[in-house]
Amino acid sequence: MLEAITILLAGGGTGGHLYPGIAVAEAFRLVAPHVKPLFVCTTREIDRVILEPTGFEFIPQPIIPWKKSIGGTLRFAKSFGETWDLLRKLLKERKPAAALGLGGYAAGLALKLAARKGIPTALLNPDVIPGEANRLLIKQAQAVCCQFDQTAEHVHASQRAKLRVTGCPIRSDICNRPAREQAAGRLGLGPRLNTLVVTGASLGAQTVNEAVLAMLGGMTLHGWQILHLSGREHAPAVRAGYRDLSVPAVVIDFTPAMADVWAVADLAISRSGASSCAELTACAVPSILFPYPFHKDLHQRANAAVLADAGAAILLDDEKDRRRNAQKLRPAVESLLYDADRRRVMSDAAKRLGKPQAADNVAQVIADLVQIDKITA
């Protein structure tokens, strides 16, 4: 029997950061059960909601994002010190064999401390454009696991040798979706109707929600139903909007069962975060993408452009205005609802971009860092 070893997975705060890490942890659990994933995440409720059902061990870090104010700086400094002490103790006691950064502010300290202690480190960089935390951490990492070839254009030439185009890990259940009829039954949908999925990812997206509801005013759906993943904060308003419109829709605030969602999806309106793009392409779902418009680097737009350039998606810029967004969205949706041939072409293009084995690819990168004979059972 092989000796148990710990792999640290650092990051959280959104499903986009956590789900790829969970997929890698699942890959290890399947082929190397002596590898024990340990998540160091944030104190946000979404982290507990996502991680608790997986059975993987997780420890919330006190770290919070820095805000440009005196109070924000003081709170950040306090959380920084508390997190530093927590991680130093954790690394000393658990002695992880490797550390994988999942992105975001909750990855930084763990990866820096691990690198200082000589622990092999890798980064997940599933967006085309590396985020602020990853840009700072790339120098410390021995390997950077990317979803897109285009990431090389946004990384300094001296660091490009570290890039591995693995894809963005998605959970094994999404790669092995259930039968449409079974998924539709669990979701409360009709199995014979086409399904338009609307999603703003795990936290929802207010501007997407508003644009879709505004678009549907006066619109008749023939042979279609809507599955709308609204986000918990937005669910009451979205449900009320559909009641007012008398449009057939199932509104879910949040679900971890994305395998069911993609099993019934014939077309999606979605943000273009890294995990969303990975799931859309692995599941060959044609999509209309509304990139998140509030980031300075517009990294979701860069992700969406890859899918749009490949013919897998239509890219619409979010103008942060319900009426203008709806005016752009309606013709795009109507052009696809009743054109099955065009949806099929887009689906084939998405499938060509997909990397459903990404979790195994990332697990192999980590295995290589800590010597393969220590990982494989």
Q: How confident is the model at residue 114 (pLDDT cuts 50, 70, 90)?
A: very high
Same domain? For 141 and 230 the reply is no
Q: How confident is the model at residue 51 (pLDDT cuts 50, 70, 90)?
A: very high
Same domain? For 188 and 283 the reply is yes
The pLDDT of residue 377 is above 50:
no
The pLDDT of residue 83 is above 60:
yes
pLDDT digits (tens, 9 = 90+) for 118-145: 999 999 999 999 988 899 899 989 999 9
Mean pLDDT, all residues of the chain: 93
DSSP secondary structure string, 253-272?
Answer: S--S-HHHHHHH-SEEEE--
Same domain? For 21 and 119 the reply is yes
pLDDT digits (tens, 9 = 90+) for 340-352: 999 999 999 999 9
Same domain? For 25 and 115 the reply is yes
Report the pLDDT averaged over residues 74-90.
93
pLDDT digits (tens, 9 = 90+) for 8-21: 999 999 888 999 99
Task: List helix spans (H) across 44-102.
Answer: 45-51, 70-94
Q: Cα 124 vs. chain centroid, distance in angstroms?
A: 11
Model-level pTM? 0.89
Strand order in the sheet with 121-125: 57-60, 35-41, 5-10, 98-101, 121-125, 143-146, 163-165
Same domain? For 298 and 371 the reply is no
Total count of domains within the chain: 2
Same domain? For 182 and 152 the reply is no
Q: Which residues contact 106 (CB under 8 A, 6 or more apart)?
A: 10, 11, 12, 13, 17, 40, 41, 42, 61, 63
CA dist., res. 205 & res. 211, Å (int): 10
The boundaries of the domain holding residue 294 are: 176-353
The CATH number linked to 67 is 3.40.50.2000
pLDDT digits (tens, 9 = 90+) for 264-279: 999 999 999 999 999 9
Same domain? For 17 and 43 the reply is yes
CA dist., res. 328 & res. 132, Å (int): 31
Q: How far is CA 239 from CA 218, 230, 290, in A?
A: 17, 9, 21
The pLDDT of residue 375 is above 60:
no
Report the pLDDT averaged over residues 57-69.
91
